[in-house]
Structures are given as C-alpha cells and as structure tokens.
Amino acid sequence: MWTVAEPLFQQAAREVAVPVAAAEATSAREPQRLERLTAGWALPAPPAGPAVGEIGAETDEEKPVSFYWVGNTLRHIGSVVHQLLQRIGQDGLAAWTPERVRALAPAFRSALASLGVPAAELQSAAGRVVDALLGTLGDERGRWILRNDRVATACEYPVCGVIDNRVVSLRVDRTFVDSDGIRWIVDYKTSFHEGSGVEAFLDNELARYRDQMTVYTRLFALMEDRPVRAALYFPLLGSWRELERAFARG
C-alpha cells in the first residue's frame, strides 16, 4: 500500500511546506519572547458548583428498587469464576470433579490475591469461587451450558458489528448451537442474593442486562442464518433467566 500512497504523501508535503527562506525571514522579523507572570499571581478560584440536590435529585420515594450491589472483591470473584468456567468448557465436564475443585481452593486464593483481594477476605472469596463451580457442575442447566460436544461452541468469544449505525465490540461468555439448530448466547453473572426475594432479584438482573443481551443476539442474527436465543446464568444461585425474544436473520 505504501508504494502507491508514498508519492501522494510526498506531493502533499511539498505543497504545504514553508520555504526555508520564508521561515528564516519570519524568524528574523519576530524573535522569540519570554514572558513571565507577575509576582504573586495565582489561579482564580473556580466557580461555585451546583448545590447538593439541584441535579438529578431523588427522594427516597422516587428511587427505583435495586438489588444490585458489587464491590471490588465480588468483581474479582466474578473474574476468577469466568476464567474457570471457560477452562471447564474447554476441558470438558469429565475433567472437573467436585474433588478437583475443592483441591484447587488454594490456587483460587492465589488468583484472587493477585487481583487485589484483601487478605482478610481471601478465604471467603475463594469459598464463593468453589461454591460457584460446584453449583454449576451440580446443576443440570449448568452442565448443559458447559457441554463441549456441540458444534460452534466457544468461550469468551469476541464479536463485533454494526448495530443502529454504531460499531459495537463485545465478548460472549459462552455460545453454542444446540441439537435443534438454535444458537445460544449465555452470559455468566456471579451476583448473589441472600434471603427472600430471589425471584425479584433475578428479574431485576434480567432487566438490567436486557439491552446488552439484545445486542448480542442481533449481532449473531446478522452473521448466521439460524434462530438466536440468549440467557443469563447465575453460578452462585444455580438460576437461569432467558431473554424473552428470539432473533433470526431478517
């Protein structure tokens, strides 16, 4: 490409270049000057910010109900669980027994420590990783997701395309084509919820991620001539929420 483009760049450079004589003349006419700030000069004070509550204020009655809570430790737990579910999906279910998962707990602690989980939280965080993996391996839906005997199966699959005149680039946690020829897109969510209201929590999570999952399905529908369905899977809860709408090309 450069063989073709180089003459064009050189011609453009010649057309905009300042002649040496003109540059020297300009330099002679306008010598450089160094100007100093006056003694005691200081930046002016910034303008006053808006009073608290002026912008986007909400009363307690107006705030939407949300079950979402995440801290750095929970985010790091999610990163490790995602990596291990990818590994299980690649190795196959037979290679990952409950005994192996429990035996690897020290390795999970090391991985979490390298991500910055405080020492005081490492034991409980590694326990959540173990719970997520054991829960998935012991769940019929989880094992169905991780089967590696299908066609077009992939983990952490990068995909990009144009949606609504905007270029989007995403990474899919798990995707495969089932025996009915349906393309499935599964997004792992390591959220957890204790106590009552689990169903409401799961519905809330689906609502939060609906737009993202819709983009996934639209991208695959553009690439493949088969139905596309998407869902969230919660390893720590053994739960599943499917996006209601299925997509197909056209």
Q: What is the secondary structure of 103-124 as a DSSP string?
A: HTHHHHHHHHHHHT--HHHHHH
- What is the arithmetic mean of pLDDT over 62-72? 47
Sign, CA dihedral 36-38-40-45, equals negative
pLDDT of residue 34: 77
Q: Does the pLDDT at position 87 exceed 90?
A: yes
pLDDT at 149 (0 to 100):
87
List the domains of the chain with CATH numbers. Answer: 69-149 (no CATH), 151-250 (3.90.320.10)
Q: Which residue has the higher pLDDT, 59 or 144?
A: 144
Q: How many residues can be counted in the chain?
A: 250
CA dist 235 and 89 (Å) reads 14
Whole-angstrom distance, CA of residue 146 vs CA of residue 84: 11
- CB-count burial class (<10 Å; 0-12, 13-18, 19+) for 69: exposed
Q: Which two tokens stand for residue 225?
A: 């001539």
Which of 89, 96, 97, 124 is closest to 108 using CA atoms?
A: 124
Q: Residue 20 has what pLDDT?
A: 52
8 A C-beta contact, residue 185 and residue 217: yes
Residue 43 exposure: Cα atoms within 13 Å on the Cβ side: 3
Say how far apart CA 8 and CA 145 lie, in whole Å: 54
Q: Please give the pLDDT value at position 29.
A: 58
Mean pLDDT estimate for the chain: 83
Which residues sit opposite 193 in a β-bridge?
none
Given the DSSP bridges, would you call strands 239-242 and 166-177 parallel, antiparallel or unpaired?
unpaired
pLDDT tens column, 154-200 = 999 998 899 988 888 889 999 999 999 999 999 999 887 776 788 88
Residues 172, 183 contacting (CB under 8 angstroms)? no
The predicted model scores a pTM of 0.67
E strands, the chain, in order: 151-163, 166-177, 183-188, 228-234, 239-242
Please give the Cα distance from 80 to 192 (Å, whole number).
Answer: 15
Q: Which two tokens stand for residue 106?
A: 């020290």
Q: What is the pLDDT of residue 21?
A: 53
pLDDT on residue 86: 93
Percent of the chain with pLDDT over 70: 81
Tokens of 27: 């330099």
- 135/132 Cα distance (integer angstroms): 5
The end-to-end CA distance of the chain, in Å, is 37
Residue 61 near residue 100, CB atoms below 8 Å: no
**What is the CA 147 to chain-centroid distance, rounded?**
23
